[in-house]
Amino acid sequence: MDGSPLGIAQAREVVLAACRPLGTEEVPVTDALGRVLAEPVIAAADVPPFASSAMDGYAVLAGPAGRVVRVVGESRAGTPAERGPGEGEAVAISTGAVVPPGAEAVVPLEVTERDGDRVTLTAPARPGDHVRGAGEDLRAGGTVLEPGRRLGPAEVGVAIGAGRASLRCARRPRVAVLCTGDELRAPGEPLGAGQIHNTNAYTLAALALESGAELAAPPGQVRDELGATRDALGSALDRADVLVVSGGVSVGPHDHVKGALAELGVQERFWRVALRPGRPTWFGVRGDRLVFGLPGNPVSAMVTFLLFARPALAALQGASTAVPVRLATMTEAIPRNAGRDEAVRVALRERDGVLQATPTGPQGSHQLTSMLGADGLVIVERGEGELPAGAPVRVEIR
């Protein structure tokens, strides 16, 4: 692309404009953790379905302290009593058991004294005491979860409470991760001259999984050679909704990603973002398929994934693409870069009720340790001078 590179927000807009939500599928509710809901969940019935006791004790008519009542039955969780209490009577009751018909209150065990089938109630019983009404959690017919919501433990629990055994969810995007570089070796492999371990294959795959995607195949690796790059990209593209390539996207004589993608009919949407780290980032499409050409530097690869690929994966799943943000105070001055916005990795901690953001150490694009303990990114806008210590900042939570 000619002209000055896009800013982060513009580049993100270009990416999101290319995203079409994927289809949906029925998922057993017990497998739905981490999925994005594609339909509303409506409570089939009241939850709790019946008035139940909040305590172990005695179900009785309302009345003052000091009464002596006779136990005429028991209501256990799962086994209701055969009849309710009358005047001068009580039904022993367990937490979660049905409050029998006619009972107006539950008197907790702790304020009773039992002697055979007689019980002295040492506390008054006001109507409704320790009784949970039917539908206090969910009302039959009420919408309890909206489409677009990512399902965490509580969402799955509420869906089960609402009576569901399966949920219509967005299909998980299939992501292919491909790393270019003659210098790359697999984890644990001994390194020869000039070689390094391939970290991006694993950081990018992990970020994709964290974003709700599944891997189209184990992360691949390809030599810095045009034909091999084209073949590897071509077969990854055939299997994936989203192709994430690392390295080889710059202008060096051994960078073949852009040339190979052009030969494969992938249309460039942008190349280069006014961003540090991550300037050479490339993005293109083939039909509905998205291709991210991320820089090889390990920090750049992770940061550009977070800034551009993660929102895209959310959009493909019909989830919100809004990045969670927290407001904090920067503890150190950050010199501004003249031409590029800088994504500073920060750790957050609270001090005297104020959230403080501190850079995670040296911020070179090759210093992957700067991602350790990084709670988020502070985008320091390009320009002259510095962002002073004490400045209020927005932290994009990772």
Residues that bind Mg ion (CB under 5 A): 181, 247-248, 296
Instruction: Provide the greatest CA pair distance for the chain.
Output: 94
Q: What Å distances lie between residue 125 and 63, 130, 270, CA to CA?
A: 5, 9, 71
Residue 250 near which of Mg ion, ligand AMP, none (CB within 5-8 Å, type-dependent): ligand AMP
Which C-beta is closer to Mg ion: that of 80 or that of 248? 248
- According to the binding rule CB under 6 A, does residue 246 interact with ligand AMP? yes
Which of 24, 53, 198, 281 is close enough to bind ligand AMP by CB under 6 A?
198
Residue nearest to ligand AMP (CB): 296
Q: Measured from the CB of residue 257, what is the shortest distance to Mg ion in angstroms?
A: 9
CB of 363 to ligand AMP, least distance (A): 16
If binding is defined by CB under 6 A, does position 181 make contact with ligand AMP? yes
Q: Which listed residue (296, 311, 318, 376) binds ligand AMP by CB under 6 A?
A: 296
Out of ligand AMP, Mg ion, none, what residue 212 binds, judged by CB under 5 to 8 A for its kind, is none
* Long-range Cβ contacts of 281-286 (<8 Å, 24+ apart): 281/11, 281/249, 281/308, 282/249, 282/257, 282/258, 283/11, 283/14, 283/15, 283/18, 283/308, 285/18, 286/237
* 139 vs 223, beta carbon nearer Mg ion: 223
Report if residue 199 touches ligand AMP, rule: CB under 6 A. Answer: yes
CB-facing half-sphere around the CA of 85: CA atoms within 13 A: 27
* 92 contact choice in ligand AMP, Mg ion, none (CB below 5 to 8 Å, kind-dependent): none
Report how far residue 294's alpha carbon sits from residue 204's, in angstroms, rounded to the nearest whole number.
Answer: 10
Q: Single out the segment in contact with ligand AMP by CB under 6 A; choices: 129-137, 179-187, 269-277, 386-394.
A: 179-187
* 225 contacts: CB under 8 Å, gap ≥ 6: 256
CB of 210 to ligand AMP, least distance (A): 18
Is residue 277 a contact point for ligand AMP (CB under 6 A)?
A: no
* Distance linking the first and last C-alpha atoms of the chain: 29
Contact 321, 16 (CB under 8 A): yes
Q: Could you give the CA distance from residue 244 to residue 215 in angstroms, rounded to a whole number?
A: 11
Q: Which of 9, 17, 191, 196 binds ligand AMP (CB under 6 A)?
A: 196
Contact 391, 334 (CB under 8 A): no
Q: Which residues bind ligand AMP (CB under 6 A)?
A: 179, 181, 183-184, 196, 198-201, 246-248, 250, 295-298
